[in-house]
Chains A and B, each alone.
Chain A
Amino acid sequence: MLDTVVIPLVMFLIFPGVAFLLAMAFFLEWIDRKTVARIQRRYGPLHTGPSGILQPFADFLKLLQKEDIIPTGVDKKVFILAPILISALPLTALFLIPFAGPSALVWFEGDLFLIMFIFTLIVLVVFLAGYCTTSRFSVIGSSRAALQMLGYEIPMGLAMIGPALLAGSLSISGIGQWQMDNGIWTVLLQPLGFAILVTCMLAELEFVPFDIPEAETEIVGGWRTEYGGRKLALLKLGHDLELVLASALITALYLGGAQQIWIIPSIFVFLAKMLLVTLLFSLLRAVFARMSIAQMLSGMWKYMVPLAIIQILLIQLGIGG
C-alpha cells in the first residue's frame, strides 16, 4: 500500500510533482523580474514579502479573485479551454524532466520527441487562444506567434537532437545519465548547440528580443489582450511553468543534469544550474530590444538553421561527438 499508492502520490503531488513545480514557477518569475530590474538599475519587487519574493504569488492570487469576463463574440469553448491547456501542457512536460537523481517521474525511450511535440502544441494552443477572441490585437498577436514558430522550431529540434546523438539515447533521463557516467557536460562538446537552444527557448518563451507576439507597444497585450481575471492568472502561470520547463530542459540536456557533486544532493545541484540558465535568459532579455517579425524569421532561417545543421554535421564527423 505504502509503496504502490502513497509514495507515488506524494511524488506526483508534492515533490518533485505539482506543488514543487508551482513553487518553482513563482520563484523563477521572481528571479527573472528581479534580475531584469537590477540590470536596469532598479530594485524590482521589494515590499511584497522579503525582497518581494511573494510578488508573483500576489499577482496570481489577485488575478484569481477578479471578475471573470467572457466578451461577446468570442468562441466560448476555446476561450475557456485555452488557459487551462496553456498551464497544463508545460506541467505535463515537466514530469519528464529528471529533477532529482538519474531518472524522471515518467520516462521512456523517445520522451525527447514528446517534449518537442508539447512545445509545438503550446504554440498551437496560443494561436487558438488569440484567434478565438476575434479581437484584432489578439489575432495579429496569435498569427505572429504561429509565424514565429516556423522560424525557431527546426533549429530548436536539431539542437535537442545533438545531445541525443552524443548519448545514443532518445530519453532525457538517458541523456542526463550518460553525462553523469562520463563526467562531462554536453555544453563543453557542443557549445554551438547550446547557444542555438538558448536562443530558440527565448523565442518559445516570448522573451525580448522575441516578444513579437505580445509586443505591448504595438498590439496592446498581443494574443493575451482579451483575457482577464482567472484566465489571465492561468496564462501567466503557464508562462512561468514554461520558464521552468525551458531552464530545466537546457540543464538536463546540456549542463549535466542532476549529478551529485561531493555531498551536495543532486536536486540542489540541478536547481542551481536551472537558476544559472534563468539568469542567462534574464540577462539576454534585459540587454536586447525587440526585433521585427521579418528580421526574426529571416535571421532564424539564414543563420540558426544552417548553424544547427553544421552542429549535427560536426557530431557526425566525430568532433564533439
Chain B
Amino acid sequence: MGILKWSRSKSPWLIHFNTGGCNGCDIELLAALTPKYDVERFGIVLEGSPRHADVMAVTGPVTRQVRKRLRRIYDQMPEPKFVVAIGSCALTGAPFGDCYNVLGGTEKQIPVDVYVPGCPPRPEAIIDGIAKLLGKMESSDDDDGE
C-alpha cells in the first residue's frame, strides 16, 4: 500500500447530510460520533463544509426538493470522494418509498460506495460500514479512488 493511499484511509473526514429522513438515522449517526464510540480513533472527524470532507454520510430518502441540493453538495466535495448511505431510507426509500414527493434511494442520484441497512442502524453498524469503506479504499487498485 502506497503512502498516499495509507494517508487517505487513515483520515476520512465526514460530512453529514439528511435528504429527508425521519431523523432517527441522524440521531444514531450523531451517537456514533460521541465520546462513547470515539471515531476519532480511526481519524474520522465531522466537518461542516463539503469542501473539507472526503466521505458523505447520507441519511433518509431523496425527496424531490432536496435532489438538486444533494447533487450540488456532492459536486462541491473535492475528489476523491466517497458516499455512505445510512439507513433503509437511503438505500431504497423504505417506508417513504411510495410517497408522491420521494424519488427513492440515494444511489439513483449519486454513486454510493457503502450501504448500511437498518431502521435506524445502530452506531456500531454505522462505524462498521465506515470501516468497510476504509478497507475498500485500501484495497482499491486505481489511485484516484472510485
Contact present for A42 and B40 (CB under 8 Å): yes
A150: min CB distance to chain B, Å: 25
Interface residues of B (CB under 8 A from A): 3-4, 6-8, 10-11, 35, 38, 40-43, 47-49, 51-52, 54, 76-80
Contact present for A42 and B7 (CB under 8 Å): no
Contact present for B52 and A228 (CB under 8 Å): yes
In the complex the two chains form, what is the Cα distance from A220 to B16 in whole Å?
12
Return chain B residues, CB-CB under 8 Å to A52: 41, 43
Return chain A residues, CB-CB under 8 Å to B40: 33, 37, 42-45
In the complex the two chains form, what is the Cα distance from A50 to B17 in whole Å?
33
For chain A, which range describes its interface: under 10, 10 to 19, 20 to 34, or 35 or more residues? 35 or more
Please pick, from A47, A217, A224, the residue contacting B49 in the complex, using a CB distance under 8 A: A224
B89: min CB distance to chain A, Å: 25
A58 with B51: in contact, given A37-B40, A52-B41 (CB under 8 Å)?
Answer: no
Contact present for A221 and B49 (CB under 8 Å): yes
A58 with B52: in contact, given A40-B35, A45-B40 (CB under 8 Å)?
Answer: no
Contact present for B78 and A62 (CB under 8 Å): no
A216 with B38: in contact, given A62-B7, A228-B78 (CB under 8 Å)?
Answer: no
Question: Which interface residue of B43, B51, B77 has the most chain A CB atoms within 10 A?
Answer: B51
Given contacts A55-B10, A225-B49, A232-B52, 6 further A-B contacts (CB under 8 A): A42-B35, A43-B40, A44-B41, A217-B48, A221-B48, A232-B51
Please pick, from B8, B35, B43, B51, the residue contacting A47 in the complex, using a CB distance under 8 A: B43
In the complex the two chains form, what is the Cα distance from A68 to B80 in whole Å?
11
Return chain A residues, CB-CB under 8 Å to B48: 216-217, 220-221, 225
- A48 sits at the interface (CB 8 A): yes
- A227 sits at the interface (CB 8 A): yes
The 29 listed contacts between A and B (C-beta, < 8 Å) are A40-B35, A42-B41, A43-B40, A44-B38, A45-B40, A46-B41, A47-B41, A47-B43, A52-B41, A54-B10, A58-B6, A58-B7, A58-B10, A59-B7, A61-B3, A61-B7, A65-B4, A67-B80, A68-B78, A69-B76, A216-B48, A221-B52, A226-B49, A226-B51, A227-B52, A228-B51, A228-B77, A228-B78, A232-B52
